[in-house]
Amino acid sequence: MTVALIVLAVVLIVAVGALAFVALRARISPGPSLASKTVVVHTRDEQSIRGLLVAQHADRLSLRSAVYLHGSGDQPVEGLAHVPTSSISWMQELAGTEAE
Protein backbone atom coordinates (compact mmCIF):
# COMPACT_ATOMS: atom_id res chain seq x y z
CA MET A 1 0.00 0.00 0.00
CA THR A 2 2.79 2.45 0.90
CA VAL A 3 4.71 1.64 -2.28
CA ALA A 4 1.58 2.28 -4.37
CA LEU A 5 1.09 5.71 -2.75
CA ILE A 6 4.73 6.63 -3.37
CA VAL A 7 4.46 5.58 -7.02
CA LEU A 8 1.23 7.56 -7.39
CA ALA A 9 2.84 10.64 -5.84
CA VAL A 10 5.84 10.41 -8.19
CA VAL A 11 3.56 10.02 -11.22
CA LEU A 12 1.52 13.06 -10.16
CA ILE A 13 4.64 15.17 -9.62
CA VAL A 14 5.99 14.23 -13.06
CA ALA A 15 2.60 14.96 -14.70
CA VAL A 16 2.30 18.38 -13.04
CA GLY A 17 5.88 19.21 -13.99
CA ALA A 18 5.26 18.23 -17.62
CA LEU A 19 2.09 20.33 -17.78
CA ALA A 20 3.90 23.33 -16.28
CA PHE A 21 6.73 22.95 -18.81
CA VAL A 22 4.33 22.79 -21.76
CA ALA A 23 2.31 25.77 -20.53
CA LEU A 24 5.42 27.90 -19.95
CA ARG A 25 6.92 26.96 -23.30
CA ALA A 26 3.68 27.80 -25.14
CA ARG A 27 3.50 31.17 -23.41
CA ILE A 28 7.02 32.36 -24.22
CA SER A 29 7.61 30.83 -27.63
CA PRO A 30 6.32 32.41 -30.83
CA GLY A 31 3.62 30.76 -32.85
CA PRO A 32 4.24 29.10 -36.18
CA SER A 33 6.28 30.90 -38.82
CA LEU A 34 4.24 33.50 -40.63
CA ALA A 35 4.71 34.92 -44.07
CA SER A 36 4.86 38.68 -43.57
CA LYS A 37 1.49 40.15 -44.39
CA THR A 38 0.10 43.62 -44.00
CA VAL A 39 -2.74 43.59 -41.49
CA VAL A 40 -5.01 46.05 -39.75
CA VAL A 41 -5.48 45.30 -36.06
CA HIS A 42 -8.61 46.72 -34.47
CA THR A 43 -8.36 47.10 -30.69
CA ARG A 44 -11.07 46.94 -28.05
CA ASP A 45 -10.62 50.68 -27.39
CA GLU A 46 -11.55 51.39 -31.04
CA GLN A 47 -8.07 52.13 -32.38
CA SER A 48 -6.81 50.68 -35.66
CA ILE A 49 -3.17 49.92 -36.39
CA ARG A 50 -1.88 48.92 -39.85
CA GLY A 51 1.50 47.24 -40.21
CA LEU A 52 3.55 44.34 -41.46
CA LEU A 53 2.93 41.32 -39.23
CA VAL A 54 6.38 40.00 -38.28
CA ALA A 55 5.58 37.82 -35.25
CA GLN A 56 2.58 36.32 -33.54
CA HIS A 57 3.25 35.35 -29.92
CA ALA A 58 0.87 33.88 -27.36
CA ASP A 59 0.54 37.26 -25.64
CA ARG A 60 1.09 39.80 -28.44
CA LEU A 61 1.38 40.62 -32.14
CA SER A 62 4.45 42.44 -33.44
CA LEU A 63 4.05 44.84 -36.37
CA ARG A 64 6.79 46.58 -38.37
CA SER A 65 6.22 49.88 -40.21
CA ALA A 66 3.07 50.34 -38.15
CA VAL A 67 0.79 53.35 -38.25
CA TYR A 68 -2.23 54.31 -36.18
CA LEU A 69 -5.11 55.00 -38.54
CA HIS A 70 -7.06 58.17 -37.77
CA GLY A 71 -9.64 60.08 -39.77
CA SER A 72 -7.32 63.11 -39.72
CA GLY A 73 -4.30 61.14 -41.00
CA ASP A 74 -1.94 58.32 -40.12
CA GLN A 75 0.39 58.49 -37.11
CA PRO A 76 3.59 56.40 -37.57
CA VAL A 77 4.89 54.20 -34.76
CA GLU A 78 8.66 54.08 -34.31
CA GLY A 79 10.25 50.64 -34.16
CA LEU A 80 8.11 47.56 -33.66
CA ALA A 81 4.55 47.95 -32.43
CA HIS A 82 3.59 45.26 -29.93
CA VAL A 83 -0.16 44.82 -29.55
CA PRO A 84 -1.29 42.67 -26.60
CA THR A 85 -3.66 39.93 -27.75
CA SER A 86 -5.94 40.75 -24.82
CA SER A 87 -6.63 44.17 -26.37
CA ILE A 88 -7.37 42.92 -29.90
CA SER A 89 -10.98 42.98 -31.02
CA TRP A 90 -10.30 41.59 -34.50
CA MET A 91 -7.62 41.54 -37.20
CA GLN A 92 -8.00 42.11 -40.92
CA GLU A 93 -5.50 40.75 -43.45
CA LEU A 94 -5.16 43.07 -46.43
CA ALA A 95 -5.39 41.16 -49.70
CA GLY A 96 -2.34 40.92 -51.95
CA THR A 97 0.13 42.28 -49.41
CA GLU A 98 2.39 39.28 -48.80
CA ALA A 99 6.04 40.35 -48.50
CA GLU A 100 8.55 38.52 -50.66
pLDDT in tens, 7-46: 999 999 999 988 888 877 766 655 554 557 899 999 999 9
Task: Determine, yes or no, domain membership for 19.
Answer: yes
How far apart CA 76 and CA 8 sit, in angstroms, is: 57
Q: Is residue 13 part of a domain?
A: yes
Note the pLDDT of residue 36.
79
Average pLDDT, the chain: 85
- Stronger pLDDT, 28 or 81, i.e. the higher one: 81
Is residue 15 located within the same domain as residue 54?
no
Distance CA 96, CA 38 (A): 9
Q: What is the CATH number of the domain that holds 78?
A: 2.30.30.100
Domain containing 18: what range?
1-30
C-alpha–C-alpha distance, residues 8 and 54, integer Å: 45
Alpha carbons 83 and 94: distance in angstroms, whole number? 18
Average pLDDT over residues 62-81: 91
Provide the pLDDT for residue 84.
95
The answer, yes or no, to whether residue 82 has pLDDT greater than 90, is yes
